[in-house]
Chain A
Amino acid sequence: MSVFLQDLVMKRESKSYTDSVYAILTAANLFQGPKYLLSGLTGMAFKFSVHQQLLPMSVSAYGQWGNEHKPAIDNLGILTIFDAGRVRHHTFPYYQQEAVNAVKSSLDCGIGVVYWIPEFGVIHGYDDGDRVFYIQDGCSEESQIVLYDNFGLNFTTFWYYQVFGDKVDIARQDMILESLRLAILDWETPFRTLPNTDIASGKLAYVYLCQGLKQGSFNTHGAVYILDSYMTARTEIRDYLGDAQGIWTELDEAYQLYGLLAAMIPRMNDCIRAHRGERQVDLSRVDELIELLTQAELLEDQAISHFRHISARYPDLKRTTIPRWGSHTPR
């Protein structure tokens, strides 16, 4: 057997997870609309995490993936099943085999699969003859190949895949409200990968970013990647809130604030320059960049307090009921 989903094309523009989900769900007709809408509704646009040394991994280190991605997909009303773990665990060979089967049956139904390459990408085909999966990372036009036997093996020691199922309709206003609550939670939670505290989330991520830039001994590629991802996300949020005007006055005001923030992005971009063919933070403009980021943090903080006012008006069972999952993954 073999399957090759022609219509599934991933393009890196946003976070790799958002790009993957967008490619899969639009191809499967489970989502319609621009990418910023998906990024906003899932709360992915609001996720912002920074490692102390501004490592490139910061961008996808916004939490324990299962715990972050499940509520994201829940808010689209879509059933999702994921599995993940550490390759070194003794049960990995079994779960690897199960994963290979699950990925193939999803592709048989014509739906692509999210896969940690790293970073996140999509599996859009398989061939039993060669025992391979076809994978896109969103950067290269060419599909990569992963052998069934190598599924999940990569330098990060984590494996992860996620499949999607049926869908229920959720009222637009309910989805927007939930996305604001996901945003509030991300903004207010300083550490999403405890017990580690070297990666900060939300409001504290600004502090880590500015401190990292100030100290100077940061990862040059990581710094640019974090900033690019940050600027893209803020543009997404602005566009997302722009579409959601007229429901709550506080949200209209939050849109204005994100509009101001987005207007600062060209100046932030000016603080990055090409150096030997690679974009780098212009070290002579670090102070200016920090100043811009400090203003941006203030704007975002105000926007989030508008979100809080909206949220407070409606009961929030999801966050007032103690769950029996989440917060930490198995050890």
Chain B
Amino acid sequence: MGAKILDSLCLTDQADYIDVMHAILKHRGWMTCSRAMLSGMTVSSFRFTVHRRLTAESTTAYNWMAEHFLAADFVGITASQAAGFQFEPTFPLYQKQAISDIKRSIDRGIGAVIWKDQFVIVVGYDDERKLLYYADGTSPTNGTLPYIEWGRNRSPYWYYQVFEERLAMDELAIYRESLLQAIYKWETHDLMLPESDYACGRAGYDAMADAMHSSEYDGNGVCEIIRYYASAKKDIYEYTTVLQKIWPELKSAVEAYDELAQIFETMVEMTLSIDATQKFAAPQVRTMIHLLMNAKQKEETAIEQIKILVRETINNRFNDIGLR
């Protein structure tokens, strides 16, 4: 029986996975870089996936087990994680295992990532009261989650990840790998998602434009998608700006990402001008499609430039550029 709450581990705003990871690693003293840098190094900002009806779920519709393992691996952090459906008969066994792993992480002074219909940080636990304390960025005080409620979400998933050690990494190797993975993300569909319902990377822009054109989209979803990816594109711009100091050849890619981020800013402004439950009016749809096609072109240009920079490694990886 024990209890512990980690001091000064919190989130300041509504958070995604990278915010949560960033807060935990920073609190542990393993990471001093900005969110944008972490987002780039972990390749998270390069992921672009949309449901073809532009539902808000798009922004978390990816292979958590694969991508979050990699996010940590890319930056030299080792981790353990597990995930499943809460409707499976074995869920109670995994719930017990999760609580035990999470508590051990807290005891080591490291926050844990869990899915509570969004990614949140577990900052403490109390065995007497049988509950976890978590921070989700919406409130300055910690929320409480009874052990027995852990994993019982509105969405069918449970998930947790605990970080274990930090290994020495060569910074240049991290940056180079992230650029290779950026190409992979741009060109490759996530096998976990049915292609009839989801589009990834380059194809994501066409899917968004199609949805706009046919008016078959979710009004709230499209605002959330644009807001989320606008922040990602801004991260990419900041990240590649730093990388340009090492590889000046990235100059035109950085310029393209700058323009890309600005296009998304314009789209964010457009979403503010409509009531979120309403559809865009016809002239706005035309503008939106124009912006999307423009954005696709910018990102294509940037990726072409990156490919020139890392062409030798691309050739070494034959037909599977993502495979390290």
Q: Which residues of A contact B (CB under 8 A)?
A: 74, 77-79, 81, 86, 88-91, 94-95, 98, 165-168, 170, 174, 194-195, 317-318, 321-331
Q: Map CB proximity to A onto B300-324 as digits: 1 under 8 Å, 0 otherwise.
A: 0000000000000000000110111
A325-B63 in contact given A170-B89, A195-B319, A317-B156 (Cβ < 8 Å): yes
Q: Which of A95, A194, A324 contacts B63 (CB 8 A)?
A: A324
Q: Give the distance to chain A from B20, nearest Cβ to Cβ, in Å.
A: 15
10 more A-B residue pairs beyond the given contacts A324-B65, A324-B83, with a C-beta to C-beta distance below 8 A: A74-B90, A79-B94, A90-B167, A98-B164, A166-B93, A168-B89, A174-B89, A322-B197, A328-B63, A330-B67
Q: Is B128 an interface residue (CB 8 A)?
A: no
* Assembly CA distance A330 to B66 (angstroms): 5
Across the interface, which residues of A come within 8 angstroms of B73, CB to CB? 89, 91, 330
- Choose one: A168, A174, A195, A326; the contact of B92 (CB below 8 Å): A168
Please report the C-alpha to C-alpha distance between residue A120 and residue B94 in the assembled complex, in whole angstroms: 25
* A166 / chain B contacts, CB cutoff of 8 Å: 93, 96
Q: List 11 A-B contacts (CB under 8 A).
A: A90-B167, A94-B165, A318-B88, A321-B156, A322-B194, A323-B85, A324-B61, A325-B66, A330-B66, A331-B323, A331-B324
CB-CB under 8 A from A323, the residues of chain B are: 83, 85, 157, 192
- Across-interface contacts of B165 in A (CB, < 8 A): 94
- Interface of A, secondary structure class, is loop
Determine if B93 and A195 form an interchain contact, defined as CB atoms under 8 angstroms apart: no
Which residues 154-178 of B have a CB within 8 angstroms of A?
156-157, 159, 164-165, 167, 169
> Could you say which residues of chain A place their CB within 8 Å of the CB of B78?
91, 94-95, 98
Could you tell me the distance in whole angstroms from the C-beta of B91 to the nearest C-beta in chain A?
9
Given A91-B76, A166-B93, A168-B92; A327-B63 close (CB under 8 Å): yes
What is the minimal beta-carbon distance from A156 to any residue of chain B, in angstroms? 15
A331 and B322 contact, CB distance less than 8 A: yes
**Given known contacts A79-B93, A98-B78, A327-B191, is B320 in contact with A195 (CB within 8 Å)?**
yes
Q: What chain A residues lie within 8 Å of B94 (beta carbons)? A: 79
Q: Is the CB of A324 within 8 A of B157?
A: yes
Are B97 and A165 touching (Cβ within 8 A)?
Answer: yes
Distance in angstroms between the alpha carbons of A217 and B83 in the assembled complex? 44
* Beta-carbon contacts under 8 Å, B264-282 to A: none
Q: Which residue of A lies closest to B87 (CB)?
A: A317
Which B178-201 residues have a C-beta within 8 angstroms of A?
A: 181, 184, 190-194, 197
B193 neighbours in A (Cβ, 8 Å) = 322
A94 neighbours in B (Cβ, 8 Å): 78, 164-165, 167
What is the CA–CA distance of A91 and B78 in the complex, to the nearest angstrom? 7
Q: Give Cα A167 to B184, complex, Å.
A: 40
Those of B63-78 within 8 Å (CB) of chain A: 63-67, 69-70, 73, 76, 78
Please name all residues of chain B whose beta carbon is closer than 8 Å to the beta carbon of A330 when the two chains form the complex.
65-67, 69-70, 73
A98 to B92 CA separation, bound complex (whole angstroms): 25
* Distance in angstroms between the alpha carbons of A167 and B197 in the assembled complex: 36
